Structure 1
């Protein structure tokens, strides 16, 4: 009966135990054959049933268990023994048992990797083993050798009709068995993933592969990572196999996602990113559960990366290719491919600043939120000194000009950022021509906004100079000689007498600072005029957190002619140290360069001034510092024709000249100096040939050439005790003057009012009391600021009385 069906299928483990006992005690017909051939192949669908069977045979039946790994050469643990060597080892082992029973395992874990496609070595091994005959002792003792085979039902099916083999197949549909995922990795380090044994069984050799099946804990993890070269080379022969799911990752990404089943979201794989995936693998530690978003947040030490502002902060803090790849990949994934920045990131060819911000700059969207996001990104890049290529700048500039033509300048300015010089050049030109407003450039060009702030009251002796310098800056920005400038020059520089009237009311830098023992160090910026006061005040005020404070802003006059040679000597009187060693900036040299081109020169000027002030701030050591200048510059002479006066030798492109013979004669175009021969231009027309295009110049008598600033800074916020009280809260619109009481002023402090972005002088009328000049009243504008040297020391409100006021009969 037994011989009639040697390939049996058993439905339960109890049936299997009964079959073992029945087979062991077989009598009668078929017993001789059964005892002659001791091998019993026991086929299982899963490792759980196999392990239970082995333990049953060992513990309840007292059958010895022989591990196949003992036949591996331990000097070469990753050398796979041949099927012939394995069959010989098994045959020899059976002979050595003296007729006793045994279980040989793990057999199938080695045999499954034998070539059964071309050379059919698995079939040959089974055929060889099934033919092994028992010894005389074995026959007498009904010796049985049990060889468990797991998951190779497909291969063993080849022997289903073989009458000379004993195969028992436990196929229990109710069995709760687990099978394994086997990750075949051609990388001994498992791509550097840390603590991988927390998630998977790891084997590196054939010997380790066979050894793990003796350990009960192997069943606690359903994943096996195998780096054995031998197994990797023969893994193709394992199919069909219903005990293992084989995964052969071809790269780090597949190892993490398909092998270890880590959740990597929707991040796509591209071959060019393989190095980054390898670096990511090296950062992963499986001592705790892996969750991509949490991992990325910990890696960058941030709470979130979903917003574009967080993205930029991380981007600029991490410059490596891997870090930026990880950041971009996760940002795109978390935003599900939506958003302005996401669209730019999907187009990147590299993770350089230039590549990213070129994409951002070139993507000109009309969606308001996206426009804001674009500008923010580009402004941040500008603050980090990111620069785009010249070609990209040209393209962006052309696009912006086209938008201006089609939709207007106010629409085009919405696309501006601070990242390209071309945008700054257009902003300067458009603002100078009155095509846009100052507030429209503040977000992307704060330097220009600071530069163009209303001038503080420069000097009470010459209150007109403040509005003049404002108009000069507008003309300079527009590169046009304006009527406002022309009228002031025609009035206050009409001739030498008119000029001398205001010029002599001012003091030189050396005179103003004479006897100042409190100043420790002097710094000199060549060519710095009063037009730069608001800009420099803004820069210095940004350093208050560094305990650097602007204490005073004073106005002085340069000596004539307004050249470095003359005024450098005047500055040298301030210090025993060579003033040349204190020179930190040079606008003068820039102004004379023949390569200057409007409006780029203005941007270069800002760069020089800011770098000079920042240099002073960075080397500041707590001493009181004075920043001085030798003369200012004018960029309006290059817009006027030259007078080509005969008999004069030109100097500084005709801003001054020397009479070749005799003494100079009186002329409204110039002032004659004490030597009687040297003359300085009173207006913007050169005394000789025209000043070259786009060049700044000095030597003459215009306010921008003559007036120079003095900044005094220290680590003490002096005069912080100022207080302002308005004495006339109700002011008549027909006599719009305000009366104030100001406490805490120093002798050198000159207070003034800023109302509706214009400066108004305050005239002292009593101890601590001041009256303003007439304000240009607007009943809707009731607030004004009181300032000293660019600092706001108070804010006041008035009530404008616009009706008729009754005469006060008692006001004598």
Structure 2
């Protein structure tokens, strides 16, 4: 027998320099000198090159006429795994020279015992004068170690041929050890030069195709058997346990997220995201995440932008934020702690975590920055998407526990002022703490709307009102806050509501609402105009509304006045043909009794919503009117008493008089001739209470109206003008976020953030330049206003080329302490 270009090696194997030498040997192997050559048909041909294998198959088939037989012929379905007997029968039934392909791909998935026993079985097959050529891609080392070196006929003849010069091009084969049902469609064609193998039959024909760098096996049968597979000089097997390994090893994308089997559905979605949206991101996982969330730089996301992402987020989005944001955005420490501790990625779970994670912190470990950050993000979330009221039972439980363990100053760290329960608690604490310890300032900062409610000092009326009226409402609002009538209120009432004459003297000098409507409506000759009637809106609410409008930045109040309603102070006598907002009136009338502080908190919330609604109207100007106010001081709890037994309505505040009823007014009530309003054509006179008492046999338990006290008959008259878009501020490229624009005289330090980081910041008040201190964080700044007294100031921030204007208030608190 002639051996072309070959040399003998150990165990009667023959080594060839190239596949062409092997082909020559096959074609010219006509002189079968030994009995073994004639009895045993198998010829094993080893190469580490799939290209060599393909060339040998083609040459033997074309030049020798040998038929090509794939072991997949024994399969009844694509995912069937052949048995040893089936392949042995296939060989035994061969009647002509044959190239049997894919046997090496079968052997790869056998364990060592089955590997050697199978080779013994097929090598013992006798088939005289028939040759079966078996191309073997790789596998030589395993073949030799487990079978050939111990095979009893190894030295008798040379049925094993090796190509020594074959290039060692390793094909990477990835066996996915996890469920791939939802991945197949995304894997298909997602990587150039990568072949997806979905079945056993497809695997047996893979190496016949054009050579690929990577093969991904998703066949369930093959992946089940893959624990037996081992790498060699032709292929490199990798068992991938999860999608993270798939992304990193196959896609070459480093994913800085630890794999958790409980989160596998999110990994599947992540794979879909990457396979769908992968662009030229230079293998940057962060860039892919930023592309998904449509943000430029995750590391500098503002709190507002993060909240908008959470607002629109799916479970997967929150999972992705939780796994990436804490690693790149270090400015939001509390948010990062909450994200990192999530074990469920539903939106409501994250919101709950933001509310309650803080209660796992000991008070001494809580920094002011952490507390403020929690409040900021919860304020943004509450404004944008979530009503926190359903969390109140759990919140009450946590805070009640703290109240029993900690000093009140420490409890404040855990408050946000965003829920009705917290607001009620803030009011209770305000009434309990000493005015000298500074806690009240901290509490007011948490509930700025309460501060606005009592802020009569800042109100500048367009039409002057008597000083005693401003003083009265200052006392009234504080009395409502404290749930206790200030003694000076009775002093004022006894003077100015002593009788009909004293009442009339101040009452007729105030502008009637109808007169202001007529005068101001005539002046509004240009632009769009809308009239709004807020039922039950007394003058007590003017400071709150004025502050809310101004703080919104969307509008300004160009005209504010205190006006009188027609008597009696009822809706029936003060109807307007305008759009009516009845929320406040409906709430008050729905209460069986006045409860403190619940009712005050709810009424403030109603006013907030009304202002927000008004600011959303499209008209340029809005005139706000009202029909009456309410009084909480007429209830039995606050010393009201039953003075008379008249058949009065509105819970004893007014009685319309029939013809012939002659009453003479005194210090408690007056007889009023109805001359204006919508009752003038219905009634002639009415008996009206001058003080906080009842005219009938029932004392009120809730807030009432109909009488003649200032809080019932004086209402705000407002003209609100919307700011044009250009008036909202000239800075477009920067976001400026103040911790608070209301500063205590004790600690007048203004803290704010500017995002992104500016190159230059200059601050001025009334033209005087201030010292702007940069903190350790590149976006945080501080201005100390220690040289300024109480009052309101306009701060101008010159940020790079833009100007940002903000009103700053410094308050001393001495008047509040006096009233408290």
Structure 2-normalised TM-score?
A: 0.71
Distance 1:188 1:507, change over 3 A: closer
Greater CA drift, 301-310 or 55-64: 55-64
Q: Is residue 631–residue 711 contact of structure 2 (8 Å, CA) maintained in 1?
A: yes
Greater CA drift, 208-217 or 329-338: 329-338
1:557 Cα offset (Å): 0.5
- Classify the secondary structure of the residue corresponding to 1:361: helix
Q: Does 1:631 align with 2:628?
A: yes
Q: Is residue 107–residue 149 contact of structure 1 (8 Å, CA) maintained in 2?
A: no
Distance 1:461 1:368, change over 3 A: closer
Which of 489, 513, 521 does residue 493 from structure 2 map onto? 489
1:283 Cα offset (Å): 1.4
- Classify the secondary structure of the residue corresponding to 2:716: strand
Q: Is residue 626–residue 711 contact of structure 1 (8 Å, CA) maintained in 2?
A: yes
Q: Does 1:586 align with 2:595?
A: no
Which of 106, 110, 128 does residue 122 from structure 2 map onto? 128
Counterpart of 1:454?
A: 456
Unaligned 5+ segments in structure 2 are 675-683, 728-785, 795-804, 809-820
Counterpart of 1:277?
A: 267
Q: Is residue 137–residue 234 contact of structure 2 (8 Å, CA) maintained in 1?
A: no
Deviations 1:428-453 (A, max 9, x none): 34446775677635654343343333
1:710 Cα offset (Å): 1.7
Partners of 1:181 and 1:562 in 2: CA distance: 87
Q: Is residue 469–residue 704 contact of structure 1 (8 Å, CA) maintained in 2?
A: yes
Distance 1:340 1:714, change over 3 A: closer
1:267 Cα offset (Å): 2.7
Q: Does 1:226 align with 2:217?
A: yes
Partners of 1:133 and 1:541 in 2: CA distance: 101
Count of residues in correspondence between the two structures: 693
Counterpart of 1:599?
A: 597
Partners of 1:146 and 1:432 in 2: CA distance: 95
Q: Does 1:294 align with 2:287?
A: yes
Please report the RMSD computed on the Cα atoms of aligned residues, expressed in angstroms: 4.7
Distance 1:402 1:152, change over 3 A: farther
Q: Does 1:612 align with 2:615?
A: no
Partners of 2:121 and 2:216 in 1: CA distance: 31
Distance 1:596 1:241, change over 3 A: farther
Larger Rg: 1
- Classify the secondary structure of the residue corresponding to 1:700: coil
Counterpart of 1:565?
A: 572
Counterpart of 2:42?
A: 39
Partners of 1:390 and 1:39 in 2: CA distance: 81
Distance 1:535 1:190, change over 3 A: same
Greater CA drift, 550-559 or 24-33: 24-33
Map 1:218-617; keep pairs closer than 5 Å: 218=212, 221=213, 223-232=214-223, 234-235=225-226, 238=229, 252=243, 255-256=246-247, 262-271=253-262, 273-285=263-275, 290-306=283-299, 309=303, 312-332=306-326, 334=328, 339-362=333-356, 363-364=358-359, 365=361, 366-384=366-384, 385-387=386-388, 388-399=390-401, 401-402=403-404, 406-409=406-409, 411-431=410-430, 435=435, 440=442, 444-454=446-456, 456-458=459-461, 459-514=463-518, 516-517=521-522, 521-541=530-550, 550-568=557-575, 571=576, 578-579=577-578, 582-592=579-589, 593-594=591-592, 596-617=594-615
Counterpart of 2:104?
A: 108
Q: Is residue 640–residue 686 contact of structure 1 (8 Å, CA) maintained in 2?
A: no
Distance 1:523 1:126, change over 3 A: same
Partners of 1:716 and 1:242 in 2: CA distance: 76
Partners of 1:333 and 1:172 in 2: CA distance: 51
Q: Is residue 104–residue 137 contact of structure 2 (8 Å, CA) maintained in 1?
A: yes
Distance 1:4 1:706, change over 3 A: closer
Partners of 1:182 and 1:503 in 2: CA distance: 90
Counterpart of 2:651?
A: 653
Q: Is residue 175–residue 216 contact of structure 2 (8 Å, CA) maintained in 1?
A: yes
Partners of 1:355 and 1:19 in 2: CA distance: 68
Counterpart of 2:814?
A: none
Distance 1:779 1:506, change over 3 A: farther
Distance 1:679 1:270, change over 3 A: farther
Partners of 2:152 and 2:607 in 1: CA distance: 101
- Classify the secondary structure of the residue corresponding to 1:7: helix
Q: Is residue 642–residue 699 contact of structure 2 (8 Å, CA) maintained in 1?
A: no
Partners of 1:793 and 1:239 in 2: CA distance: 70
1:108 Cα offset (Å): 0.3
Counterpart of 2:690?
A: 682
Deviations 1:18-73 (A, max 9, x none): 999899999999755346545332456xx34x645765897899976975548648
Greater CA drift, 453-462 or 559-568: 453-462
Distance 1:381 1:146, change over 3 A: closer
- Classify the secondary structure of the residue corresponding to 1:263: coil
Distance 1:481 1:192, change over 3 A: farther
Deviations 1:468-508 (A, max 9, x none): 32222122112121234344334433443332221121121
Unaligned 5+ segments in structure 1 are 572-577, 721-777, 787-791, 796-812
Q: Is residue 204–residue 228 contact of structure 1 (8 Å, CA) maintained in 2?
A: yes
Q: Is residue 656–residue 685 contact of structure 2 (8 Å, CA) maintained in 1?
A: yes
Q: Is residue 432–residue 474 contact of structure 1 (8 Å, CA) maintained in 2?
A: no
Distance 1:27 1:703, change over 3 A: closer
Partners of 1:506 and 1:229 in 2: CA distance: 88
Q: Does 1:711 align with 2:715?
A: no
Partners of 2:260 and 2:302 in 1: CA distance: 23
Q: Is residue 537–residue 629 contact of structure 2 (8 Å, CA) maintained in 1?
A: yes
- Classify the secondary structure of the residue corresponding to 1:537: helix
Counterpart of 1:673?
A: 672
- Classify the secondary structure of the residue corresponding to 2:511: coil
Q: Does 1:180 align with 2:180?
A: no
Distance 1:144 1:437, change over 3 A: closer
1:215 Cα offset (Å): 3.5
Q: Is residue 69–residue 207 contact of structure 1 (8 Å, CA) maintained in 2?
A: no
Map 1:712-731; keep pairs closer than 5 Å: 712-713=719-720
Deviations 1:503-545 (A, max 9, x none): 1211211122236346654321111012222332344446765
Partners of 1:395 and 1:191 in 2: CA distance: 50
Partners of 2:224 and 2:347 in 1: CA distance: 44
Distance 1:368 1:241, change over 3 A: same
Distance 1:460 1:200, change over 3 A: same
Partners of 1:192 and 1:198 in 2: CA distance: 15
Which of 685, 695, 708 does residue 701 from structure 1 map onto? 708
- Classify the secondary structure of the residue corresponding to 2:540: helix
Distance 1:214 1:349, change over 3 A: closer
Distance 1:486 1:305, change over 3 A: farther
